[in-house]
């Protein structure tokens, strides 16, 4: 009987060994084209402009666009943010966690080996005996249907998604830092302009006082001039608060204490080169957030495959070798088994339905991310054009208002017009100056948004900076 049992175990092991070369690997996930076709509604058509050949594709995401602003201090600040930002550290830790999960899932494809050491004893106080043993045991589940391979592939896809999300976090942080720097510069310029405006209204009040002393104007003119001066002083205090808040926001991104100690430029960086004609044909492959969403679809696909395979029988090989202190020969043990789920109360079917629902959700999330990416590109390109036109109009407003104001001052000095007309002209000039500062800031910020939407620079083969998540201090 013992020989029959050993022979049966050996036969099962041989059968499993024959089946092992036919073990199923994880099925290939759907391609980008297939996912896009499934994710987007049938009525959604991607414009042919996104396949224009005139646009130079730069490939993977990069930070080369920072250099186009020709601002070394900006590049230093972005480097500091990438080193110190706490949100980026969280993203890096998530990548490390996903990497560990991928290793754990892959380990299930390999045999497990355990070492056992034991000792027993018995007897009385006068006479006692004992025995010690040492043994190795191994178990290996043969992945006939690809269940374990699908689980491993799902973890690897999740790891790839975490890496892409980290890269997008990097790119977003670089863009946030750049925009915060430009906003701080804008606030500094408005603060300086506010101080000049206060001086301007103070000079106007001094002029009115002189004219009042010689009886050329009434007390009403003095009240108007003083009111405008106080209004300018109040606006300057608002600008001072905005300046401090903008610097504190930038310092938070850099990981510094928000003390408003950082100094911004007093002039806005000039707008870089014009945007090339056309749009990137590989937008779906170059934006890391879309890469992450596609990998999430792949992970959900593999989990569905794993849930399907869980309904099928599983095969395992077990082996062991050991020895005891009172036996000179080694003890061997070899076995194989098949385990087929018969009744689980509908749990296995529910797991398949759950995985399928999660896959459909991942596909829909991918489609949402794709449409959002297209919207960001279209909005950034439209704003690029409209803000440029608005700036040209505001320049005309400033030039013409300044000339009208100069003429009004001359007429007021000789008594041809009243002070109210001068103050109105003066307010138009101040408003135009503020408008130009704001619009130029909006243009450089919108250029940053465009780079983030496109996933990198315009240049061909830009120098790429590779930062491994685990290197973040």
Largest Cα–Cα distance in the chain? 132
In terms of Cα–Cα distance, which of 432, 410, 409, 307 is closest to 357? 307
Q: Which residues of 172-209 are buried (b: 16+ CB within 10 A; e: fewer)?
A: bbbbbbbbbbbbbbbbbbbbbbbeebbebbeebbebbe
Q: What is the pLDDT of residue 392?
A: 95
Paired tokens of 190: 């408005």
For residue 277, give the 3-state DSSP assignment. Answer: coil
Q: What is the pLDDT of residue 140?
A: 83
Q: Distance between CA atoms of 249 and 423, rounded to whole angstroms?
A: 36
Ranges of the chain with pLDDT below 50 = 1-22, 51-61, 460-473
Q: Distance between CA atoms of 162 and 456, rounded to whole angstroms?
A: 19
CB 68 within 8 A of CB 271: no
Q: How many CB atoms lie within 10 A of CB 94?
A: 16
Q: Distance between CA atoms of 97 and 92, rounded to whole angstroms?
A: 9
For residue 98, CA distances in Å to 156, 228, 287, 355 come to 8, 61, 20, 19
Backbone torsion region of residue 461, taken as left when φ is above 0, otherwise alpha when ψ lies between -120 and 50, otherwise beta = left
Q: What is the pLDDT of residue 244?
A: 96
Q: Distance between CA atoms of 86 and 439, rounded to whole angstroms?
A: 32
**120 backbone dihedrals φ, ψ, rounded to 5°:** -130, 155
Paired tokens of 139: 């178990």
In terms of Cα–Cα distance, which of 3, 9, 4 is closest to 333? 9
Q: Distance between CA atoms of 401 and 423, rounded to whole angstroms?
A: 12
In terms of Cα–Cα distance, which of 182, 166, 170 is closest to 79? 170
Long-range contacts (CB closer than 8 Å, 24 or more residues apart) made by 425-430: 425/401, 426/200, 426/201, 426/204, 426/228, 427/228, 428/397, 428/401, 428/404, 429/398, 429/401, 429/402, 429/405, 430/193, 430/197, 430/200, 430/232
For residue 345, give the 3-state DSSP assignment. Answer: coil
Beta-bridge mates of residue 323: 134
For residue 318, CA distances in Å to 142, 266, 270, 332 come to 11, 74, 71, 11
Rounded to two decimals, the pTM is 0.79
Q: What is the pLDDT of residue 125?
A: 57
Q: What is the pLDDT of residue 436?
A: 95
CB 444 within 8 A of CB 182: yes
Q: Distance between CA atoms of 366 and 264, rounded to whole angstroms?
A: 39
Q: What is the pLDDT of residue 73?
A: 94
**12 backbone dihedrals φ, ψ, rounded to 5°:** -65, -40
């Amino acid at each position: 009987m013992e020989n029959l049992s050993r022979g049966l175990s050996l036969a099962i092991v041989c059968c499993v060994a024959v089946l092992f070369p036919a073990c199923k690997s994880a099925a290939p996930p759907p391609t980008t084209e297939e996912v896009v076709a499934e994710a987007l509604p049938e009525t959604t058509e991607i414009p042919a402009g996104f396949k224009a050949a005139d646009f130079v594709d730069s490939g993977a995401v990069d930070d080369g666009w920072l250099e186009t602003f020709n601002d070394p201090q900006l590049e230093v600040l972005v480097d500091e943010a990438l080193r110190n930002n706490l949100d980026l550290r969280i993203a890096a830790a998530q990548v490390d966690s996903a990497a560990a999960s991928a290793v754990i899932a892959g380990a299930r494809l390999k045999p497990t080996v355990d070492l056992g050491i034991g000792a027993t004893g018995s007897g009385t106080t006068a006479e006692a005996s004992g025995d010690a043993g040492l043994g190795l045991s191994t178990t290996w589940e043969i992945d006939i249907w690809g269940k374990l391979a699908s689980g491993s592939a799902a973890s690897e896809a999740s790891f790839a998604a975490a890496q892409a999300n980290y890269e997008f976090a990097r790119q977003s942080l670089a863009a946030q830092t750049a925009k915060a720097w430009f906003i701080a510069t804008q606030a500094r310029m408005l603060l300086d302009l506010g101080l000049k405006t206060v001086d301007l209204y103070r000079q106007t009040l001094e002029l009115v006082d002189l004219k009042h002393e010689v009886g050329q104007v009434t007390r009403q003119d003095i009240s108007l001039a003083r009111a405008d001066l106080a209004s300018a002083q109040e606006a300057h205090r608002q600008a001072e608060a905005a300046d401090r808040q903008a610097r504190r926001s930038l310092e938070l991104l850099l990981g510094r204490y928000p003390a408003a100690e950082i100094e911004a430029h007093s002039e806005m960086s000039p707008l870089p080169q014009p945007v090339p004609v056309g749009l990137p044909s590989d937008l779906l492959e170059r934006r890391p957030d879309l890469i992450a969403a596609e990998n999430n679809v792949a992970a959900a696909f593999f989990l569905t495959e794993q849930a399907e395979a869980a309904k099928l029988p599983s095969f395992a090989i077990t082996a062991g070798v050991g020895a005891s202190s009172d036996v000179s020969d080694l003890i061997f043990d070899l076995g194989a088994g098949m385990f087929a789920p018969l009744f689980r109360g509908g749990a296995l079917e529910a797991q398949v339905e759950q995985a399928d629902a999660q896959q459909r959700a991942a596909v829909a999330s991918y489609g949402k991310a794709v449409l959002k990416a297209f919207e960001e590109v279209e909005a950034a390109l439209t704003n690029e054009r409209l803000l440029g036109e608005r700036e040209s109009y505001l320049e005309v407003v400033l030039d013409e208002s300044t000339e009208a104001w100069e003429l009004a001052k001359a007429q007021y000095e000789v008594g041809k017009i009243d002070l109210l007309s001068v103050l109105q002209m003066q307010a138009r000039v101040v408003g135009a100056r503020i408008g130009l500062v704001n619009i130029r800031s909006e243009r450089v910020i919108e250029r940053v948004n465009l780079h983030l939407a496109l996933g990198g620079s315009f240049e061909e083969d830009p120098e790429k900076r590779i930062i491994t998540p685990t290197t973040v201090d």
